[in-house]
Amino acid sequence: MTTGLSPRDVYLAIANNIGTVMKGQAGPTRRMLAAFVVGGHVLLEDFPGTGKTTLAKVLARSLNVEFKRIQFTPDLLPSDITGVSMFDQRDRQFHFQPGPIITNVLLADEINRASPRTQSALLEAMAEGQVSVDGERRMLPELFFVIATQNPVEFRGTYPLPEAQMDRFAMQLELGYVAPADEVAILTAQAQNHPLEHVAPCASAADVLRLRDAAQHVRLSEELKRYIVDVVAGTRGAPGVQLGASPRASLAIMKTAQALALFDGSEFVTPDHIREIAVPVIAHRLVLDPQAKFAGTTARTVAEDILKRVPVPV
């Protein structure tokens, strides 16, 4: 069931709903929604207490869809995520008990604390939209979105995500600390209770799927397609980079740029839309060599430098 809103109004309604809870986070919210709309997934790497869990919850409540949270730990098993087949003595048959991954919005909290085996179960779901249990494939909902988090300052007891899984995230975002005025607004809003309690659905899953379809029809010129490819290709021979971004990064930039253009009410993508999203899409996919890291180079600065060097189509 849809609300009857236009695709752009659906975005504005969701963004405004999130804004009532997430103060001072309009930029990250906009980019997160771009990934969400086109069917991508988001990795949030930020300090504790910056609102990562709240962002996932308010998104799910804004759409009245199912939300689940998995706290990743070293002893978490793949079956704890995907579900298991249980034998019922009454009818002497196995029955599937769905795991928390079968949902619409999934918060994978501290994903890098899980073992590689468990991470691979999540990777299959993100990549294929399915889980495999006892040799049987089970499809996930059409609207399936993963927000995974990891702490950038604590590495004991963690398993770094493999490059293949990093590549499955459409983008990596940071919320960061908000401005003092916004933090005061947060204190005021939570003086009595949490504003999340008052969030009401403003759109449906069907509205989001309509928004996804509309984004796919936003025009993108051949010149801008080549611009995207040139930016991504620039990472593959950049100094200090062992592994550059894959063609999947080019696709992610294209799709999320189309979503941003739709959000802005534009019928076509502009270079500004590409430049807005390029670094969050590219940086987490790069693998730097140890010498570059020792010299203080970061994947983000590499991506920013490439973006400055590649000529913008006119």
Predicted TM-score (pTM) of this structure: 0.89
Query: What are the Cα distances from residue 60, in Å, to 49, 50, 54, 71, 313?
Result: 19, 18, 10, 18, 38
pLDDT given for residue 2 in this prediction: 65
Specify the CATH class of 218-314 in words: mainly alpha
Q: Could you report the per-residue pLDDT of 107-153, keeping only the tens digit for each?
A: 998 888 888 888 888 888 888 888 877 777 888 888 999 999 887 66
Whether the Cβ atoms of residue 131 and residue 82 lie closer than 8 Å to each other: yes
187: left (phi over 0), alpha (psi -120 to 50) or beta: alpha
For the chain, percent of residues with pLDDT exceeding 90: 37
Distance CA 35, CA 147 (A): 10
Query: What are the Cα distances from residue 213, in Å, to 8, 35, 65, 98, 238?
Result: 12, 14, 19, 29, 35
Distance CA 195, CA 72 (A): 27
With residue 148 as reference, give the H or E element that holds it.
Answer: strand 145-150
Cβ contacts of 216 within 8 Å, gap of 6 or more: 38, 255, 258
> How do beta strands 136-139 and 93-98 pair?
unpaired
The CATH homologous superfamily of the domain defined by 1-75+102-216:
P-loop containing nucleotide triphosphate hydrolases (3.40.50.300)
Q: Is 142 helix (H, G, I), strand (E, B) or coil?
A: coil
Residue-level length of the chain: 314
**Boundaries of every domain in the chain:** 1-75+102-216, 218-314
pLDDT given for residue 50 in this prediction: 72
Closest to 32 (Cα-Cα) out of 58, 6, 66, 69 = 58
Distance CA 205, CA 64 (A): 8
Across the range 8-31, mean pLDDT stands at 89
Across the range 294-305, mean pLDDT stands at 89
Distance CA 104, CA 238 (A): 38
pLDDT given for residue 97 in this prediction: 81
Cβ contacts of 19 within 8 Å, gap of 6 or more: 25, 26, 29
Whether the Cβ atoms of residue 268 and residue 219 lie closer than 8 Å to each other: yes
The residue behind tokens 């991506």 is: 303
| Tokens found for residue 311 | 């000529």
pLDDT given for residue 155 in this prediction: 61
With residue 84 as reference, give the H or E element that holds it.
Answer: strand 83-88
Chain mean pLDDT for the chain: 87
Q: Which residues are 166's β-sheet partners?
A: none
> How do beta strands 130-133 and 105-109 pair?
unpaired
Cβ contacts of 17 within 8 Å, gap of 6 or more: 58, 61, 62, 199, 200, 202
